[in-house]
Structure 1
Amino acid sequence: MKKNLLSPLLSIICILFCNCSRDDTSGNEQIIEMTNQGVIPCENGIAAGKYPCKGYDFVSHITLEQMNAETGNDSWGWTDPVTNKEYALIGLDNGTAFIDISIPESPRYIGKLPTATVSSSWRDVKVYNNTAFIVSEAKGHGLQVFDLTKLRNAGEATTFTADVHYTDFGSAHNIVINPLSGYAYVVGAKNLNGSQALYNGGPLFINIQNPLVPKNEGGYAEKAYSHDAQVITYNGPDPGYIGKEILIGSNENELAIVDITDKSNPIAISTISYAQVGYTHQGWFTEDMKYFLLGDELDETREGFNTRTIIFNMEDLDVPQEHMMFTGTTSAIDHNGYVKGNLFYLANYQAGMRVIDISDIANKNIAEIGFFDTFPTSNAADFKGAWNVYPFFKSGNIVISDINSGFILVRKKMIKI
């Protein structure tokens, strides 16, 4: 009885003073809400009546049909620095969708930037300086550059046009951006007619410091095709590379570490591989840059593993070492993974999003602590389900882009008081 009397007062206090949530920069978010506000909690291992879950609640969903698309793929996020509204950018077979999630339980589909040429199952989008940069494996697609501030005053189901269509390359598998340097790195690129890989599929260097005037500054071809990469301004434990711009390329059968500070003279630092390589796919540094967590996309199907993450010690970039392997709880294929604080968020295809605690990674002690399975019918090793997860919003909202289901928004389970 006393709890019922206090609840309205607590709700008012929350609205006035705490905005119902906080972001813990350690990556271990604790979201406190006084009222449900439409979020469907994960209870007894299920959310919204169908999604297996642990520790993460269902917030909202926009289907592929609502976005007039056949399949989903990549995703990223943007927070408007003027309005503080959050937006999800969802890659689709026929374009890139923009979703206003400032009211997370009632997301608004603003519209779509159609593909530059033809539809493709592969699209990748990143954000720099309030601008989206989009590539695709569609033949002749090039780079679409889109001013995200247009979303502030847009209606619903708008068809947008790119501000710039950069065509110094055609198709590409991925784009990586280092926000500290203002450079974009396009990997797995071909020429406009698709007949030839550019720089052997290695990274192209594009200066985007003026986002609407991208400049070609060459590329790097000494190593093999790069499927994905992370590029950082190094501030880790190896004193010889402090302040350098370092690329870690996931190059099909190995990691390649390259100093790309001088775009006219990239310098190979080292390479490292590992046992039973399937396909070296994508990885991400821990925030202290001591460790690199790598996903292999084909080892589950070729070698019969459960989901496997290979972790490298990067304290000496000249001599990286394998640190440990982490095996997940299902046979599902791992795809893209990102580190925020002490948590590793993994898009795990048919197993959905998995969340792994890496706070004791130095002692080889990491563990899965939560998940939200967007593909409820199976955890098999197949290319369906969660393609990407974007965990970097300060609000704690987490975007999952699903090949079969479209856009799904989740957040860490609420603690009700």
Structure 2
Amino acid sequence: MKRNALKNIISILSICVICMFLQNCSNEDTDNPNSDIDNDTILNAFDNCPSIANVDQLDSDNDGIGDVCDDDDDNDGVLDVNDNCPLIANPGQEDSNNNGLGDSCDGDNLPQFPCVNGLAGGYPCSGFDLMSHISAEELGGSGAEGNDSWGWTDPDTGKEYALVGTTSGSAFVDISSPANPILLGRLPTATTTSLWRDIKVYNNHAFIVSEATDHGMQVFDLTRLRNVANPPETFSADANYNGFGSAHNIVINENSGFAYVVGSNTFSGGPHFINIQNPTNPIAAGGYASDAYSHDAQVVTYNGPDADHTGKEILIGSNENEVVIIDVTNKNAPTQISSIDYSNIGYTHQGWFTENMQYFLLGDEIDEIDFGGNSRTIVFDFTDLDNPVFHMDYFGPTEAIDHNGYVVGNTFYIANYAAGMRVIDISNIASGVMTETGYIDTYIANDNTDFNGAWNIYPFFESGNILISDIEGGMFIARANN
């Protein structure tokens, strides 16, 4: 037994000695500048990956290590094996169209017109690239102009779609590849053409109103956009609601499933309530006429700082000459909570809450015309809905008329007519400070106080794509650059 054990020990030691010898030889070969251990015809002294053959010597990130030996070619902290764009740094791994290819190297997500030296395809810009553009004529036909717009993200596929109003109807555009949008089709106006058309979305359906005579409300099932064989198609509505004739605008509270049509020929132009919980079977649900004509509104299920109204359905109406706050929880008995006016009223047009519902940012459409000065946004403190107070005025850099504005996080996006889309940082709004951080001007001719240019902004896509609808220009897709 002892002799066998000794023989086994000698055998193990012999193997170890051989292994050490081979390892030393290997190291010596690698370290020998005049050898070529990987047999790729490049001597170790000049080979950026001497242990693995790489005749092409590719080194994409110029770090001195050949790609075949480099675990992180773009040095973005994501190993190549897990990186959706291994040769271009993209530490966030953004993939807006969910095609497995990172935005940084996906041609469909690279802008057609980057913002370079203050211009994106001829359009003045700062901080935003122009991903693509579709003309008003392509969207709506010969002689068409653009107006309002909204967006829809397909919950099943994650694809993003632009819904753009024109004088002749509504256009539906697949923008999942924002640099190469596809016009899928058009829904013609229900009656006649009109300069005014408004679109909102609930439960995968679009709800469309217009100031066209007897237009009513069209309902369109957006899931039909998933299977369009020969775009662009001409669509028909899936339902029509005729509880009113013409209307200026429509607002939807997606939490409650109610639509609020404003500026119609019912309820003295005040909000007309519609139950749309079954989208293709809209049901009249009353209205509110006490404050007369409402031009625009926002309706929320309230969760702001005023605990007296938590959980209630609150409508903030922009009513030509004042802002009104209405409790519309009980559709049979809506009641005014308060109202507020302000100095230099031209036309109380449209407003939007900050996300914490403390401040309300209002645009007056013709104060620049009536009183002069630069674009003005009026900010109210709505901490107490029963006693709203003026907080501040923000003045933009041009004399262009402000139109529709929306808040996402600490950013306020304004459709500023002839000055295009303006982007405002509101993180210091409590201190009375708002600062413009970027823009893309879709109306090149001028920044005058006229009704030309950007009508609406839709900034709510998770991808960061921003939709701009423009009267003369049609549809623009913008995105913040780096």
Quote the residue 2:333 is aligned against.
Answer: 265
Structure 2 partner of 1:142: 216
Bigger strand fraction: 1
Residue 125 (str. 1) matches residue 193 (str. 2)? no
The whole-number CA distance in structure 2 between the counterparts of 1:9 and 1:177 is 48
The yes-or-no answer on 1:310 pairing with 2:386 is no
Counterpart for residue 27 of structure 1: none
For residue 296 of structure 2, what is the amino acid of its counterpart?
D
Instruction: Name the structure 2 match of 1:238.
Output: 306
Q: Which of 181, 196, 199 does residue 267 from structure 2 map onto?
A: 199
In the alignment, the residues of structure 1 paired with residue 106 and residue 243 of structure 2 have an alpha-carbon distance, to the nearest angstrom, of 52
Give the secondary structure class of the aligned counterpart of 1:65.
helix
Cα deviation, residue 41, structure 1: 1.5
- Residue 126 of structure 1 aligns with an amino acid whose one-letter code is K
* CA contact 2:380–2:389 (8 Å) conserved in 1: yes
How many Å separate the matches in 2 of 1:9 and 1:404?
46
Matches within 5 A, 1:245-324: 245-324=313-392
The answer for the alignment partner of 2:247 in structure 1 is 172
Whether contact under 8 Å (1:250, 1:256) holds in the other structure is yes
Number of positions where the alignment pairs a residue of Structure 1 with one of Structure 2: 399
Match of 2:43 in 1: none
Cα deviations across residues 148-175 of structure 1 (Å, max 9, x unaligned)? 0000001311000000011010000000
Bigger RCO of structures 1 and 2 (CA < 8 A, at least 6 apart) = 1
Higher helix share: 2
Tell which structure's C-alpha radius of gyration is larger. Answer: 2
Per the alignment, residue 10 of structure 2 pairs with none
What TM-score does the superposition give when structure 2 sets the normalisation length?
Answer: 0.80
RMSD of aligned C-alpha atoms?
Answer: 2.0
The yes-or-no answer on 1:382 pairing with 2:445 is no
Q: Distance in 2 between matches of 1:14 and 1:41?
A: 22
C-alpha displacement of 1:32: 7.2
Cα deviation for residue 9 of structure 1 reads 4.5
1:65 shift after superposition: 2.1
Amino acid at match of 1:227: H
SS across alignment from 2:434: strand
> 1:110 maps to what in 2?
184
Q: Do the aligned partners of 1:79 and 1:86 also contact (CA within 8 Å) in 2?
A: yes
Task: Measure the CA separation in 2 of the matches of 1:22 and 1:119.
Answer: 35
Are residues 1:391 and 2:479 paired? no
Letter in 1 for 2:313: E
Shift of 1:20: 3.2
Q: Using the aligned pairs only, state the percent identity.
A: 57
1:365 aligned counterpart, secondary structure = coil
CA distance in 2, matches of 1:99, 1:151: 9
1:377 CA displacement: 1.3
Contact in 2 for aligned 1:20/1:34 (Cα 8 Å):
no
Question: Which residue of 2 is the match for residue 216 of structure 1?
Answer: 284
Alignment of 1:31-42 (within 5 A): 33-34=104-105, 38-39=110-111, 40-42=113-115
Q: What secondary structure, in the 3-state scheme, does the structure 1 residue paired with 2:163 have?
A: strand
Give the ranges of 4+ consecutive aligned residues of structure 1 lying more than 6 Å apart after TM superposition: none
Task: Look up the match of 1:195.
Answer: none
Cα deviation for residue 66 of structure 1 reads 1.6
Q: Distance in 2 between matches of 1:168 and 1:370?
A: 42
- C-alpha distance in 1, partners of 2:73/2:215? 55
Alignment correspondent of 1:46: 119
Alpha-carbon distance between aligned partners in 1 of 2:190 and 2:152, rounded to the nearest angstrom:
21
2:137 corresponds in structure 1 to 65
Q: Is the 8 A contact 2:85 2:105 kept in 1?
A: no
Which SS does the other structure have where 1:275 is aligned?
coil
